Amino acid sequence: MACEAEKMSKIGSFEGFQPVSLKQEGDDQPSETDQLSTEEGDPGKDPEPSRISRQPSVTESTLYPNPYHQPYVSRKYFVTRPGAIETAMEDLKGHMAKTPGETIQGFWLLTEIDHWNNEKERILLVTDKTLLICKYDFIMLSCVQLQRIPLSAVYRICLGKFVFPGMSLDKRQGEGLRIYWGSLEQQSLLSRWNPWSTEVPYATFTEHPMKYTSEKFLEICKLSGFTSKLVAAIQNAHKNSTGSGRRKGLMVLTEPILIETYMGLMSFIGNRNKLGYSLARGSIGF
């Protein structure tokens, strides 16, 4: 009985057992278990917190393209097709050639938000005298509508977040820019409540959804870049204006931008389906 008790005491103390690390042939890197045991050190030394060594990550985060932007979504927009935006710029340069004496300051691709909260894809061109707002068909590569606004007529620019009446059912987040060139008091009631009216004395813009698809689109879709260039051009136009204008100077305000819609059924359907953009809708047939 004494011999059996002695054998069991040796087994209980695990005498004769040694830890074995499992490595594959040709693997010179220590395992995590070996790394832990090495960093623990001798029992006589001060204990140090154990660390697990990790290989450095080789994944680099880049801004272009946006990692949260799915490539197939951007390909739906015809403006992102190769050569589309360049063709539109050349067409607008051709329109400007018909009015000599103006110097082009730059091109931008923005989203216009009309007085009924409908989104519309627009190209904006700023010269030293005029702001051009172009509705461009990126499918047929042609200019559909061109609105010219004299910079000397612009008297106020508002920057801020979008706000809606308390009872509105269709609201949007974000911020934008509104440009005023006419009197709101002289706007007729018919033009205010007509969703297709072109007599609204202001225009509201926000950034295009394709802003982060590439470095090129980041520059032409940046609202801050457009604002700084536009403000400088308007101020110069006011200084060089020779007519006895109704207003002198430009006010740049930071305040909420009111979009006065209530039901918003038209904008709800149109904006969710991106009807204001040149977009690939897919094949429709039987």
* Residue 18, in any domain of the structure: no
* Residue 12, in any domain of the structure: no
* Residue 51, in any domain of the structure: no
CA 12 → CA 1, 4, 75, 254, distances in Å?
16, 12, 69, 79
> 182-232: per-residue pLDDT in tens?
888 877 777 778 878 888 999 999 999 999 999 999 999 999 999 999 999
pLDDT band at 8 (very low <50, low <70, confident <90, very high): very low
154 closest CA partner among 250, 256, 243: 250
* Residue 217, in any domain of the structure: yes
* Residue 172, in any domain of the structure: yes
> 121-155: per-residue pLDDT in tens?
999 999 999 999 999 999 999 999 999 999 999 99
Range of the domain at 128: 70-273
> 153-171: per-residue pLDDT in tens?
999 999 999 999 988 888 8
For the chain, what is the domain count? 1
pTM (two decimals): 0.73
* Residue 166, in any domain of the structure: yes
* Residue 116, in any domain of the structure: yes
Comparing 3-12, 82-91, 150-159, which segment has the lowest mean pLDDT?
3-12
What's 201's domain CATH number?
Answer: 2.30.29.30
